[in-house]
Structure 1
Amino acid sequence: MKVFNQIGILLGVWAAGELVSQFIKNIISIPGSILGMIILFLLLQFKVISEEKIKDVADFLLGNMGIFFIPAGVSLIQSLGLIKENAILLLSCIILINIAVMIGCGKSVDFMIKLKEKKETKSKQEIA
Structure 2
Amino acid sequence: MSGYKDLGFNERLSSAASAKRALLEKHKAQPRPDDPSVVEQRAARQALVAAREARNAERKAAKEIEAKRLAEEKALREATEKKEQAERAIAEEAARVELLAQQKIARDARYAARKARQR
Both structures adopt the same fold (TM-score exceeding 0.5): no
Higher relative contact order (CA 8 A, sep 6+): 1
- TM-score when normalising by structure 2: 0.37
